[in-house]
Amino acid sequence: MTNHPPIVDTFLRLVQIDSPTGHEQQLAETLCQMLRDLGAEVRTDAAGNVIATLDGEGDPILLSAHMDTVEPGRGSQAAHLPMASSPATAPPSWAAIASRASRSSWTCCGV
């Protein structure tokens, strides 16, 4: 248990998983399970991208993010990252783009 909001705890959990380009499988598996736990229909494609769909109401959104990280990053511990002590000043390690999708659900794809 931490004093962080749940989104920060989730971020800290995910950034501790080594995922340099070409080696994102462990992170993809973790994301797939997290998305299934939220009730999403989840699959991966031949390239290893995570694709999840969750039906809902209202305007649909599309979320897209990279799962790979840059070197040097292997073995980094989130407790030593700026994010652990100051989320407002930490540089983001994932970029996310939200936009409208063409149907009433959201889709999340990790590339």
User: Does 19 map to a domain?
Assistant: yes
Structure tokens at 61: 């959104």
Predicted pLDDT of residue 108: 46
Over residues 19-65, the pLDDT tens digits come to: 999 999 999 999 999 999 999 999 999 999 999 999 999 998 898 99
User: Does 90 map to a domain?
Assistant: no
Spatial separation of the C-alpha atoms in residues 28 and 34, rounded to whole Å: 10
Query: In the chain, how many domains are there?
Result: 1
Q: Which long-range contacts (CB under 8 A, 24 or more apart) does 38-43 make?
A: 40/108
Which CATH number belongs to the domain containing residue 55 in this structure?
A: 3.40.630.10
CA angle, corner 92, sides to 87 and 94, nearest 5? 130
The sheet with strand 105-110 has its strands ordered as: 41-44, 50-55, 105-110, 62-65, 96-99
